[in-house]
Structure 1
Amino acid sequence: MSARVRTTLTLWSADRPEAPIAVTALYQVTDPYAVRLVFPGLPEPWFLARALLVDGLEQPAGEGDVRVAPAEADGWIEITLLPGQDRECRLFVLRVQLASFVTRCCRLVPVGREGEWIDWNRQIALLRQVTS
C-alpha cells in the first residue's frame, strides 16, 4: 500500500472562471492531519487540515485562513483562501473530485486514527532541539 495519496484537482477561481487551475493535492501518512495543495507558480504549498476537507464536503467548515463549504450550485465545493489582509481567493472544485480524494485519504488513514501514524519520539526530539 502506498504511503501517500496524490491527485490533480481542477479548481476554478470566482475571479477567473474561464481559466481553471490544475492544483496538486498531496496527503502523506507522515503528516496524517494535513493536506498540501501545490499551486502552479507559488513557491510554497497551502496546508489544509484533512478534517476541514472531510467536514466541508457536507457543511461549512473552517474559521481561519481556509474555509470549505458546499457551494450554492449543486455538485460544487467552495474553498476560500485568505492569503493576505483584506484579500480572499474563492475557488470551486467539483464535489465528486474532492470527495474521491478525501475518500482515498481516509482509506489510507481512517479518521480518528491519525495519531497512530505520528512518530511521537521523533516529534519530542525535534521539540527538544528547538527549545535547547
Structure 2
Amino acid sequence: MAMHLVVSSELSFRIVVDLDYDGDDPFAVRFTFRLPGDEPVTWVFARDLLVDGLSRPSGEGDVHLRPLGEDLGEVDLLLRSPDGDARMRAAAAPLLAFLARTDLVVPMGQEAAAGDLDQELADILSTTGHENAG
C-alpha cells in the first residue's frame, strides 16, 4: 500500500509500505517501509494496536496510531526510535482490508489458540542468551 511520510504540514512524500501477517506470530503485524535509496525498514507491532488505532488514539512507547477526521477515513501513524521520529498518514480502507485478511488466517481473539506461547517464549529466551529453566 501507499502511505505518506509527513515532513511538515505542507510537505509529504508517498512511500510504498508492505503489510505482512504470519499466523505463526498471530499477535503481530509487520510494516516494511521502502524509502527510495535506503534499505527497507520493518516495524513489528501488535495487531490489536492497529485495530484500535483505526477508531481511537492508541499506542504507548514507539508506535502511536490515531484516526484523522470525523469520518475515520485516514490514519496517523507515529513511529519513534532513537534515530528520530517518523509520521505517516494513510487511508484507513487498505488497512481495514489488510486486517480482514489477517482475520482469515487467525481470527481476532483466537491468537492464543493459534500458537504455542510457551514454546515461543522458550525460543525467544534461548536466542537472547537466557536458558529455559524448564
Q: CA deviation at 1:127?
A: 5.8
Correspondence for 1:131: 131
Q: CA deviation at 1:47?
A: 0.5
Percent identity reads 32
Correspondence for 1:21: 15
Q: Which residue identity is paired with 1:33?
A: F
Q: Quickly say closer, same or farther: Cα 1:56–1:88, change in 2 above 3 A.
A: same
Q: Tell me the SS of whatever aligns to 2:57.
A: coil
Is there any run of 5+ residues in structure 1 with no aligned partner, and where?
1-8
Counterpart check, 1:93 vs 2:90: yes
Q: CA deviation at 1:36?
A: 0.9
Q: Tell me the SS of whatever aligns to 1:62.
A: coil
Correspondence for 2:105: 108
2:3 maps to which of 11, 32, 35: 11
Q: How many residues align?
A: 122
Correspondence for 1:5: none
Q: Quickly say closer, same or farther: Cα 1:124–1:42, change in 2 above 3 A.
A: same
Correspondence for 1:64: 61
Counterpart check, 1:78 vs 2:70: no
Q: Which residue identity is paired with 2:131?
A: T
Q: Quickly say closer, same or farther: Cα 1:63–1:131, change in 2 above 3 A.
A: same
Q: CA deviation at 1:131?
A: 1.6
Is there any run of 5+ residues in structure 2 with no aligned partner, and where?
none
Q: Which residue identity is paired with 2:61?
A: G
TM-score (norm 2): 0.79
Give me the CA root mean square deviation: 2.2
Q: Which residue identity is paired with 2:2?
A: T
